[in-house]
């Protein structure tokens, strides 16, 4: 019996030892497996981080490429048509399916309408009127009646002229969107960006507070200032320190009231466009303005010399061609003074020129009255007195006094 118990105990101890070895082997195997799993998990995590980092780097590289590609990307062609409309302003932007008109030409002509029709234009996204003078707002009523116009912008300053009143009536009758933007506002139509740079407020000075807009297409800027004067130009620069333009539409048809040397120096244009009538009675463009542009090595294009100027750009490069305008259906009287064909004589009864009856050629014999002002006098008739000539654009108190002192103008 004793021998049996000894054998049994020995067997149990043997089995216990085997179990301990098995448990230890299993435990070691488990630890090894856990270590392997941990190592594999760490490896997977490292791979995920590596993939994430690779994707991040690739994303950064792609962004750089996209940015670089964006800078070099060519937009669809934009053509800016600085239309030859005589002693007036009208500029058309065409790109994709869009068309924008900045000023509309002179009320005595229909060349802007003709030009739009020749291009097959039927719709205008926007018409911007820099100010209500008849040589800028002139054909607006007829344009609204002829084409579908989505929106009209004006400076907010008003005029007593018939063409301004007809323009407002046309906007209302056709239920067109209307806006009076201020400096600091920005807009975009397609890829064309528009920043209003002047005026911030309006005080009734129509010319000086012309609605001024800088257009950006790709890497190029195009600035329009209407008839804004040098004071307005200075204020533009104060409000827009980084105002620049590759192409500057010269203010007020090249008058010496605009385009100060400091303004030209700040804007740094490569091209200057002057909308001006041939042999106009104002002497535009003024020699001083031309000298400033030439001294700054700016290339000059003039509608009186080159006709309509067409600038086409893809946002990176641009090209310019000129097209001589065709004869329009309704031509304005020659802007050249006709006094060379007439002796300085007094006509009509009372030996004076009746501003209510005299033809345009005789009206121009009155001091300070050129073809444009003569045409405006005819538009504003009748006058109850010579004093009412103050309604004519550009005739202020001093010029009115000169007219009265001359004694040639009268009302019968």
Q: Using only C-alpha atoms, what is the Rg of the chain?
A: 38
Residue 199 sits in the same domain as residue 58 = no
pLDDT band at 376 (very low <50, low <70, confident <90, very high): confident
Residue 104 vs residue 335, higher pLDDT: 104
Last residue of a domain, one of 323, 357, 382: 323
Boundary-marking domain end, from 292, 323, 354:
323
For tokens 């950064």, what's the residue?
60
pLDDT digit string, tens, across residues 105-130: 999 999 999 999 999 999 999 999 99
Cβ partners under 8 Å of residue 242, min gap 6: none
Q: Determine contact, residues 137/113, Cβ cutoff 8 Å.
A: no
Q: Is residue 373 part of a domain?
A: yes
**Assigned domain for 329 exists:** no
In a domain, 328, yes or no: no
Is residue 86 domain-shared with residue 64, that is, in the same domain?
A: no
**pLDDT of 230 over the 60 cut:** yes
**pLDDT tens digit string along 290-343?**
999 999 999 999 999 999 999 999 999 999 999 986 544 444 433 333 222 322
What is the Cα–Cα distance from 151 to 144, expressed in whole angstroms? Answer: 10
Q: Which domain holds residue 208?
A: 78-323
Q: How confident is the model at residue 284 (pLDDT cuts 50, 70, 90)?
A: very high
Same-domain check for residues 343 and 390: yes
Model confidence at 32: pLDDT above 70: no
Task: Look at residue 337 in the predicted model and tell me its pLDDT.
Answer: 30
In a domain, 129, yes or no: yes
- Closest by CA to 406, choosing from 377, 360, 358, 366, is 366
316 with 193, same domain? Answer: yes
Asked whether residue 88 falls in the same domain as residue 55, the answer is no
Q: What is the mean pLDDT of residues 206-219?
A: 96
Q: How many domains does the chain have?
A: 3
- In order of 71, 72, 193, the CA distances from 67 in angstroms are 6, 9, 19
- Output the domain CATH number for residue 86: 3.60.15.10
Dihedral sign computed on CA atoms, order 10, 12, 16, 22:
positive
Number of other residues whose CB lies within 10 A of the CB of residue 180? 12
**Is residue 255 within 8 Å of 280, Cβ to Cβ?**
no
Do 28 and 126 belong to one domain?
no
Instruction: Enumerate residues 6+ apart whose C-beta is below 8 A from 407.
Output: 352
153 and 7, same structural domain? no
Q: What percent of the chain has pLDDT over 90?
A: 64
CB 133, CB 206: distance < 8 Å: yes
What CATH number does residue 357 fall under?
A: 1.10.150.320
Instruction: State residue 326's pLDDT score.
Output: 55
Asked if 43 and 129 sit in the same domain, the reply is no
Q: Are residues 82 and 64 in the same domain?
A: no
Q: Is residue 334 part of a domain?
A: no
What totals of helices (H) and strands (E) does the chain contain, helices first?
12, 19
Is residue 247 exposed (0-12), middle (13-18) or buried (19+ Cβ within 10 Å)?
Answer: buried
Whether 68 and 83 map to the same domain: the answer is no
Residues 104 and 64 in one domain: no
3 and 97: one domain? Answer: no
Which of 258, 293, 323 is at the close of a domain?
323
Q: Does residue 333 fall inside a structural domain?
A: no
Q: What is the pLDDT of residue 321?
A: 96
Q: Which segment, 1-5, 339-343, 380-384, is predicted with the most confidence on average?
A: 380-384
């Amino acid at each position: 019996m004793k021998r049996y118990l000894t054998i049994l105990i020995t067997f149990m101890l043997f089995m216990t030892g085997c179990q301990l070895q098995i448990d230890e082997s299993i435990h070691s195997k488990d630890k090894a497996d856990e270590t392997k799993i941990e190592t594999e998990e760490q490896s997977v995590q490292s791979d995920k981080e590596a993939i994430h980092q690779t994707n991040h780097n690739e994303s950064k590289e792609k962004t750089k490429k996209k940015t670089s590609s964006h800078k070099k990307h060519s937009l669809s062609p934009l053509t800016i048509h600085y239309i030859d409309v005589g002693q007036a302003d009208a500029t058309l932007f065409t790109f994709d399916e869009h068309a924008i008109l900045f000023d509309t030409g002179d009320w005595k002509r229909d060349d802007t309408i003709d030009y739009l029709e020749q291009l097959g234009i039927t719709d205008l996204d926007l018409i911007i009127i820099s100010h209500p003078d008849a040589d800028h707002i002139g054909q607006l009523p007829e344009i609204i009646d002829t084409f579908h116009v989505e929106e009209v912008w004006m400076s907010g300053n008003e005029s007593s002229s018939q063409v301004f009143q007809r323009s407002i009536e046309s906007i209302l009758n056709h239920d067109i969107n209307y806006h009076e933007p201020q400096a600091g506002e920005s807009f975009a139509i397609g890829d064309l960006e528009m920043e209003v740079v002047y005026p911030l407020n309006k005080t009734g000075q129509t010319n000086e507070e012309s609605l001024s807009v800088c257009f950006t297409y790709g890497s190029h800027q195009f600035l329009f200032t209407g008839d804004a004067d040098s004071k307005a130009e200075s204020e533009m620069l104060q409000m827009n320190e980084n105002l620049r333009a590759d192409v500057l539409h010269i203010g007020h048809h090249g008058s010496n009231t605009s385009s100060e040397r400091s303004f030209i120096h700040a804007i740094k244009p490569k091209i200057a466009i002057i909308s001006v009538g041939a042999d106009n009675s104002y002497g535009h463009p003024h020699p001083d303005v031309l000298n400033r542009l030439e001294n700054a090595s700016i290339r000059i294009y003039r509608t009186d010399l080159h006709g309509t100027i067409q600038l086409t750009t893809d946002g990176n490069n641009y090209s310019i061609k000129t097209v001589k305008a065709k004869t329009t259906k309704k031509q304005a009287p020659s802007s050249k003074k006709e006094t060379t064909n007439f002796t300085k004589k007094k006509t009509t009864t009372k030996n004076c020129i009746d501003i209510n009856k005299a033809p345009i050629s005789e009206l121009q014999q009155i001091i300070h009255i050129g073809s444009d002002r003569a045409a405006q006098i005819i538009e504003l008739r009748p006058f109850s007195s010579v004093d009412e000539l103050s309604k004519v654009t550009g005739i202020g108190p001093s010029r009115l006094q000169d007219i009265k002192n001359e004694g040639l103008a009268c009302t019968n």
